[in-house]
């Protein structure tokens, strides 16, 4: 019988410790400043590029880890440092996953290197799916992509919102409607190359949390891109649309759309981000409870505090196990027959919200001030139950998968 283990191997431990050191020495000291500035922390990203963390090679090594644990281990450590700065470092990865999930080998080899650049010339990428009237409801997407056969070009028009690195990125991956009659099955993903006319940044959002990460609208006005920028190619798209039309007529099985393929691949990684933030807040609360004295003894001597910390640590460990399971399943090619990817994201996200709230409560008045990091961590944690599928959407996905029913 094959040995079952949850022990990281030596290479994984080395990467984990390296990332933890970077998070402790570089990310954490800068966290408060960039949260207050609400700007992209370019010096930190450039430092990450110099040491090899912000690079195609690093993410490829973690992505292709045969155990599936490379990405979740990396995400947990970076987001343990600070969620806003970490999202600025890893935000390009969502666009890269979009290309990996939908692109050809040639497109992967051409565009992903341009998303990162190198240590001397750092680049960014943005994944653009959500719209002002189409967040969780992807079927309501309005951004259109029309094929100009005479010029072999696609013409994109519409507005995207909530795009990490939106408008400041060098490469944008845009999900657009190519066949409105098919709803969410009539979507496709496109690469918008650097300096393409017609693409501009709209509103930049001032956010409750993750404020060191740039989030903005992306406006597309008659954006013309070469036919080769359709991820997967036109032949594959035409075949997929034909199958979708046939199944729509016959009421057959559903076809996944381009945005959902990206989100399915990234949900366990988002869960790992949430675990990192929760763990960071728990550690601050534990240290505080052991050193803060009231009525002549450390507050951890009180069951009311000690039991909270016990529950916090239990939920964090359970969330990590769900994330690791989903990540291993994805790498092993096992189907999420019980929506395990959504389970991991749901539980980890809710854990981050509850654990950071408990950390603020344990610190009392100090936890409510910006003198202690749990205030920022609590604000940051709110995003995990919202982006890449709200907790309500995760529950809907899980319920539909378990029941086989079109629950609404």
Q: Catalytic residue numbers?
A: 388
Q: In whole angstroms, what is the distance from residue 216 CA to residue 230 CA?
A: 23
Instruction: Report the C-alpha gap between 108 and 224 in whole angstroms.
Output: 20
Please tell me what DSSP assigns to residue 196. -
Cβ–Cβ under 8 Å, residues 356 and 383:
no
Quick check: 56 and 125 in contact, CB under 8 A?
A: no
CA distance 193 to 370: 40
- Report the candidate in 14, 33, 143, 97 with the shortest Cα–Cα distance to residue 373: 33
Quickly tell me which residue has 């903005």 as its tokens.
216
State the Cα–Cα distance between residues 393 and 374, nearest whole angstrom: 27
CA distance 153 to 134: 25
- Quick one: three-class SS letters along 90-125? HHHHHHHHHHHHHCCHHHHHHHHHHHHEECCEECCE
For residue 25, how many other CB atoms are within 10 A of its CB? 11
Residue 267 to residues 33, 64, 71, 206, Cα–Cα distance (Å)? 29, 17, 11, 25
DSSP state of 181: G
- The 8-class DSSP code of residue 206 comes to P
Report the DSSP beta bridge partners of residue 230: 190
**E strand residue ranges, 178-214:** 187-192, 199-204
Q: Which helix (H) or strand (E) holds 172?
A: strand 171-177
The pair of three-digit structure tokens given for residue 185, joined into one six-digit string: 């099955």
Neighbouring C-beta atoms of residue 202, cutoff 10 Å: 16
């Amino acid at each position: 019988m094959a040995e079952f283990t949850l022990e990281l191997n030596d290479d994984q431990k080395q990467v984990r410790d390296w990332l933890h050191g970077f998070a402790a020495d570089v990310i954490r000291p800068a966290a408060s400043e960039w949260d207050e500035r609400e700007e992209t922390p370019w010096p930190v990203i450039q430092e990450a590029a110099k040491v090899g963390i912000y690079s195609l090679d690093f993410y490829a090594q973690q992505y292709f880890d045969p155990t599936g644990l490379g990405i979740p281990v990396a995400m947990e450590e970076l987001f343990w440092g600070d969620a806003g700065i970490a999202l600025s470092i890893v935000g390009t990865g969502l666009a890269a996953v979009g290309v990996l999930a939908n692109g050809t080998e040639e497109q992967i080899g051409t565009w992903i290197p341009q998303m990162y650049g190198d240590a001397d010339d750092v680049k960014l990428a943005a994944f653009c799916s959500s719209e002002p009237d189409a967040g969780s409801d992807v079927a309501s997407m309005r951004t259109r992509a029309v094929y100009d056969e005479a010029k072999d070009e696609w013409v994109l028009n519409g507005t995207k919102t909530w795009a990490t690195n939106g408008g400041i990125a060098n490469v944008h991956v845009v999900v657009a409607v190519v066949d409105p009659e098919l709803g969410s099955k009539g979507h496709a993903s496109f690469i918008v190359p650097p300096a393409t006319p017609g693409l501009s940044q709209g509103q930049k959002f001032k956010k409750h949390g993750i404020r060191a990460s740039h989030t903005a609208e992306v406006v597309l006005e008659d954006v013309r891109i070469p036919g080769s920028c359709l991820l997967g190619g036109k032949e594959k798209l035409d075949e997929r649309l034909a199958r979708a039309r046939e199944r729509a007529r016959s009421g057959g099985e559903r076809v996944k759309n381009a945005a959902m393929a990206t989100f399915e691949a990234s949900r366990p990684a988002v869960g790992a981000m949430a675990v990192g933030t929760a763990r960071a807040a728990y550690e601050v609360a534990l240290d505080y409870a052991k050193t803060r004295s009231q009525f002549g003894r450390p507050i951890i001597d009180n069951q009311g505090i000690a039991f909270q910390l016990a529950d916090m640590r239990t939920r964090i460990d359970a969330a990590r196990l769900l994330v690791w399971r989903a990540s291993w399943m994805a790498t092993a090619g096992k189907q999420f027959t019980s929506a395990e990817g959504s389970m991991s994201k749901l539980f980890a996200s809710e854990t981050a919200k509850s654990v950071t709230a408990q950390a603020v409560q344990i610190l009392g008045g100090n936890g409510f001030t910006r003198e202690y990091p749990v205030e920022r961590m609590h604000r940051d944690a709110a995003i995990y139950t919202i982006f890449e599928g709200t907790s309500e959407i995760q529950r809907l996905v899980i319920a539909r998968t378990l029941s086989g029913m079109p629950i609404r």
